[in-house]
Amino acid sequence: MAIPVIDFSKLNGEERAKTMSQIANGCEEWGFFQLVNHEISEELLEKVKKVTSECFKLEREEGFKNSTTVKMLNELLDKKSSDRLENVDWEDVFLLSDDNENERRSETSEFKETMKQYRIELKKLAEKLMEIMDENLGLQKGYIRNAFKGGEQENAFFGTKISHYPPCPNPEKVTGLRAHTDAGGIILLFQDDKIGGLQILKDGEWIDVQPYPNSIVINTGDQIEVLSNGRYKSVWHRVLATPDGNRRSIASFYNPSLKATISPAPELVENAEDKEVFNQEIISYPKFVFGDYMSIYVQQKFHPKEPRFLAVKAT
């Protein structure tokens, strides 16, 4: 079983309807799909690989070797403990956002230029996808984008997380990134060409998100689940640690503004056929301010989302 791979270029031709329905199926049945022929040039993607790998080698690798995560694993092994490391992730992460573009010291101008261009392209792709979702959900064009903007003076958040999952000598003892659903809106992931590890939970089984060179993996977060009134569910995923190779992944998050009020789109509530059930309780999706949701999420990222929906309803 493999997540759908969709040829995005077919959206502009005779196969538009078929492609729209492939994307609808990806959103409804999988929560994850891969786009190929997505108009982001190979040349740019090759540069992104180069500058992020160089940055990791030059600035971060040494730090990871001395990190508490590595120390904790070594202690566990020294003690010959049969435990696993439950509260850490075997990954190195740094974040680029619209606000910190010029903040980082040692990035080369090639890094800055490349990542700036990449982020512009990915943001455009996210906005295109939001319009596709509007159409597939029967919402007015621009509905999701507008909901995420959260008012005239506000802006949606667009951030890019650069992760490396260095080789792990004991992958059975620690996870690359523990299982979670994403908090926000749309996530666009440029994952390693060769080294796998990302898995999604589908019908109770963990399945691999197969590496596919230069594709962009798309998934939807908790806010799209709320906005779509449960039609597009955010899906659990995790990254396994691997013994060989250093897996690179670059995840871009298009999220609501912290001030945006998120709730199910009224059109989708009226037409809702089914209701969410959690612990035998019928859940209706709440209305809340995204910043309040994030305050809960940072403490409960690796827990089920339903208690987050209940908690934010109560705030």
Ligand X SMILES: O=C(O)CCC(=O)C(=O)O
Rank residues 139 and 198 by Cβ distance to ligand X and give the closer one.
198
- CA distances 58 to 51, 93, 253, 279, 310, Å, are 10, 14, 25, 49, 44
Site for Fe ion in 140-179 (CB under 5 A): none
Instruction: Please compute, for residue 260, the number of CA atoms within 13 A of its CA located in the half-sphere on the CB side.
Output: 25
**CB 230 within 8 Å of CB 285:** yes
Query: Which of 47, 119, 237, 305: binder of ligand X (CB under 6 A)?
Result: 237
Gap between the Cα atoms of 233 and 22, Å rounded: 16
Cβ proximity to ligand X, 19 vs 249, nearer residue: 249
Q: How far is the CB of 68 from ligand X (least distance, A)?
A: 20
Which of positions 52-81 make contact with ligand X (CB under 6 A)? none
Per CB under 6 A, 175 contacts ligand X: no
Report if residue 173 touches ligand X, rule: CB under 6 A. no
Residue 189 binds ligand X, judged by CB under 6 A: yes
**Measured from the CB atom, is 191 or 257 closer to Fe ion?**
191
CB 91 within 8 A of CB 177: yes
Amino acid at 271: N
Contact between 252 and ligand X per CB under 6 A: no
3-state secondary structure of 247: strand
Give the per-residue SS3 of 149-170.
Answer: HCCCCCCCEEEEEEEEECCCCC
Cβ 110 to ligand X shortest distance, Å: 23
Binding track, positions 92-111, relative to ligand X; x by CB under 6 A: --------------------
Q: Measure the CA–CA gap between 103 and 310, rounded to whole angstroms.
A: 37
By the rule CB under 6 A, 241 interacts with ligand X: no
CA Rg, the chain, in Å?
20
Closest distance of CB 251 from ligand X, Å: 4
Query: Does 182 help bind Fe ion (rule: CB under 5 A)?
Result: yes
Interface residues toward Fe ion, by CB under 5 A = 182
